[in-house]
Amino acid sequence: MNKHAYLIVAHTNWAQLKLLLGQLDHDTNDIYLHINIKSIDFNAADTKNSVKNAGLFLLDRREVRWGFYSLTEIALDFLETATNRNYNYYHFLTGSDLLIKSNKFVVDFFETHGGHEFVERVYPLSFNW
């Protein structure tokens, strides 16, 4: 069975983050979570208690600014930490994301398409400079 690493960066909206964690709470998943250090109302214990079946790993918190290199640094931190374990797929998400398909659908999809990478680039129809 494929193992999945979900790499999530979040800074607010803890109720929605808990919904996402509930969707990902499956024994085929490990969840790596980075919370922006500027987020003062984050409750780590409450978040850890919302995950029962998946592994949950909290990265060291530091400041992240959207659109800045700090976001790239967090992505590299995720990969440095997560590649110490054996995963078939890595998924980058934000705490504002939710699954539009069930976890079972996702697991089955990647079992069916094992070994394939899914990267899409969308070209704009026209450039408006």
Residue-wise pLDDT tens digits, 11-40: 989 999 999 999 999 999 999 999 999 998
| Averaged confidence pLDDT in the chain | 89
Task: State the total domains in the chain.
Answer: 1
How confident is the model at residue 24, as a pLDDT?
95
CATH number at residue 88: 3.40.50
Q: Which domain holds residue 17?
A: 4-112
User: How many Cβ atoms are within 10 Å of 8's Cβ, its own excluded?
Assistant: 22
Are 23 and 52 in contact by the 8 Å Cβ rule? The answer is: no
Confirm whether 21 is domain-assigned.
Answer: yes
- Considering the domain boundaries, does residue 117 fall inside one? no
DSSP summary character for residue 6? E
Q: Closest Cα partner for 56 from 76, 77, 30, 75?
A: 30
Centre a 10 Å sphere on the Cβ of residue 46 and count the other Cβ atoms it contains. 10
- Structural domain contains residue 81: yes
Q: What is the pLDDT of residue 53?
A: 96
Contacts of residue 119, defined as CB under 8 A and 6 or more positions apart, other chains included, come to none
Residue pLDDT, tens place only, 56-74: 999 988 888 777 888 888 8
> Is residue 83 domain-resident?
yes
Sign of CA dihedral 125, 92, 115, 83: positive
| Within-domain flag for 121 | no
Residue 8 binned pLDDT confidence (cut-offs 50, 70, 90) = very high
Q: Report the pLDDT averaged over residues 107-118.
A: 87
Amino acid at 18: K
Residue 89 pLDDT more than 70? Answer: yes
49 by Cβ neighbours in 10 Å (0-12 / 13-18 / 19+) ranks as: exposed
44-57 pLDDT, tens digit each: 888 888 899 999 99
- Res 121: pLDDT: 75
Question: Residue 39 is encoded by which pair of tokens?
Answer: 């987020």
Closest to 110 measured CA to CA, from 18, 38, 5, 25: 5
Neighbouring CB atoms inside 10 A of 124's CB total 6
